[in-house]
Amino acid sequence: MFSFPERIWALALVVCAAGVQAQSPTYAGIGRAATPAELAAWDIDVRPDFKGLPKGSGTVAAGMEVWEGKCASCHGIFGESNEVFSPLTGGNTKEDVASGRVARLNDRAFPGRTTMMKLSQISTLWDYINRAMPWNAPKSLKADEVYAVTAYLLNLGGVLPDNFVLSDQTMAQAQAMLPNRNGMTTEHALWPGPEFGNLKPDVRATACMKNCPVDTKVASSLPDFARNAHGNLAEQNRLVGAQRGADTTRPAAAAGSVPAAAAVPAPAKPVAVAAAAAPAPAATGAGPAIALAQKNACVACHGMDNKIIGPGFREIARKYAGRADAVDYLTGKIRAGGSGVWGAIPMPPQGLPAADARTIAQWLAQGAGK
Ligand code: HEC
Ligand code: HEC
């Protein structure tokens, strides 16, 4: 057994040893070297020479299963994505597979440019699916599933035969059949460097030197009928990231306001309207609770009275008006999030301190007054 001071010493030594071992020698005392596991988690890129490609394989048939289970809901059964998302397949021909250059890319009359038409490196397709798809669950596919679904997409696009098995061994073979494999150019020089001969970028604008217009003029805008054509964009966000769709069930914000303001639903301001109706409520803490709801961006999803993405705060208050444990229940729900009480759209967990969640819950349980 260690005596008390000895134990402290032993602990200190262990901590020091760990610190020394993990610290970067260049910047002593700052950060630590990444562990091999951390590096492996980041290092997932697959390059055109197939460096980084993991071992594995998948058949066209297995890819169909993945496609129909995890991709078709957004991209369409045949990859045509003819509703909301841009189409992945279509537009290339047998001749393109032979020439390696998609002829229709030069045909201005041909509508649309699909992924299959533009793709010049199969590694890009593999890597993109592996890191970013399915959109709602990125990085959830196993390597074999990525091989399979990549094979299936290329089969849908008329590139790979039905019996093709795509693997780390056959990627080069598939690359040699891509319809637009010879379509890549660096002549635009958007990435100029000595390896491309120090070309100049292909922009040919001349700077305006006098009587230059200072105000921008809006030349075109989305017609009103198209605004809500695909349902309310505010309800179509994925749960990671900061994107917010505009609430397209309402007219666009008045001309002159910046688009970003339209994208984030403004906190509801029913103050003046509700003032006459509501007698001074006995509720305490409305001010701090409302401030917390604003500070924590709850108001991006909850209106005071109206539903935005989640229910209006007063709708919530009414629902739980008679419930004895409302404060505890709502405190828990605010922090944990959840779905199914008001509809299918989930509320993500909210990282605010428990005491702040409770202040809001108390305000809700007291009727969400002002
Ligand atoms: C929830 C909807 C959704 C699902 C499910 C989904 N995708 Fe996507 N996919 C998208 C969106 C949105 C984009 C465009 C993303 C962007 O540009 O940032 C996209 C882009 C792509 C692209 C790139 C297209 C291009 O030319 O840039 C490929 C390839 C793709 N998805 C394949 C798949 C595969 C394979 C699956 C199934 C494993 C899948 N997607 C599942 C929504 C989805
Ligand atoms: C990304 C949108 C979003 C944000 C941000 C958000 N909520 Fe929600 N909230 C929802 C949705 C959607 C529901 C409905 C969930 C359901 O049907 O179960 C909901 C439900 C609730 C409920 C009712 C839960 C129940 O079981 O009836 C409360 C209370 C609530 N939110 C409070 C908050 C508070 C407080 C914040 C800020 C700290 C917040 N929400 C932030 C979307 C959001």
Inter-residue contact 289 to 360 (CB < 8 Å): yes
Q: What is the pLDDT of residue 21?
A: 47
237 pLDDT band, cuts 50/70/90, is low
| Distance from residue 247's CA to the centre of ligand 1 (Å) | 23
CA dihedral (258, 260, 264, 265) in degrees, to 10, reads: 20
Whole-number Cα distances in Å, 9 to 1, 16, 68, 143, 334: 13, 10, 60, 48, 44
74 lines ligand 1 (CB under 6 A): yes
Q: How far is the CA of 174 from the centre of ligand 1 (A)?
A: 21
Q: Ligand 1 pocket, 72 CB below 6 A?
A: no
User: Mean pLDDT in the chain?
Assistant: 81
Using pLDDT thresholds of 50, 70 and 90, give the confidence band for residue 277.
very low
Q: Whose CA is nearest to atom 27 of ligand 2?
A: 341
The residue that leads in pLDDT, 173 or 257, is 173
Q: How confident is the model at residue 234 (pLDDT cuts 50, 70, 90)?
A: confident
Rg (CA), the chain: 28
pLDDT digits 0-9 by tens, 57-85? 999 999 999 999 999 988 988 888 766 67
Structure-block tokens of residue 23:
């610290």
Residue 20 has pLDDT above 80, yes or no: no
State yes or no: pLDDT of 19 exceeds 90: no
The reply to whether ligand 2 has any atom less than 6 angstroms from the CB of 300 is yes
Decide whether any atom of ligand 2 lies within 6 Å of the 296 Cβ: yes
- For the segment 199-212, the average pLDDT, to the nearest whole number, is 78
Extract the tokens encoding 149. 């679904």
Nearest to 62 by CA among 151, 125, 167: 151
Q: Please, which pLDDT band fits residue 232 given cuts at 50, 70 and 90?
A: confident
pLDDT band at 193 (very low <50, low <70, confident <90, very high): low
Q: Give the angle subtended at the CA of 202 by the CAs of 201 and 206, to the nearest 5°.
A: 100
Q: Whose CA is nearest to atom 2 of ligand 1?
A: 74
- What is the mean pLDDT of the segment spanning 181-192? 77
CA separation for the pair 370, 178 (Å, rounded): 63
For the ranges 40-49, 131-140, 271-280, which has the lowest average pLDDT? 271-280
Half-sphere exposure of 289 (CA within 13 A, CB side): 22
The preferred substitution site among 74, 149, 156 for testing ligand 1, maximizing ligand atoms within 8 Å of CB, is 74
Closest Cα to atom 36, ligand 1: which residue? 71
Instruction: Report pLDDT digits (tens) over 121-149.
Output: 999 999 999 999 998 899 999 999 999 99
> Which ligand lies nearest the alpha carbon of 340?
2
CB atoms under 10 Å from CB of 178, counted, come to: 24
User: Ligand 1: distance of its center to the CA of 75 in Å?
Assistant: 7
Q: Which residue has the tokens 């005392």?
A: 29
Residue 99: per-residue pLDDT? 96
- Distance, in Å, from the CA atom of 270 to the CA atom of 305, rounded to the nearest integer, reads 8
Query: What does the alpha-carbon distance between residue 179 and residue 161 come to, in Å, rounded to a whole number?
Result: 14
Q: Which tops the pLDDT comparison, 321 or 24?
A: 321
Higher pLDDT, 64 or 305: 64
Residue 246 has what pLDDT?
A: 80
CA of 88 to the centre of ligand 1 (A): 8
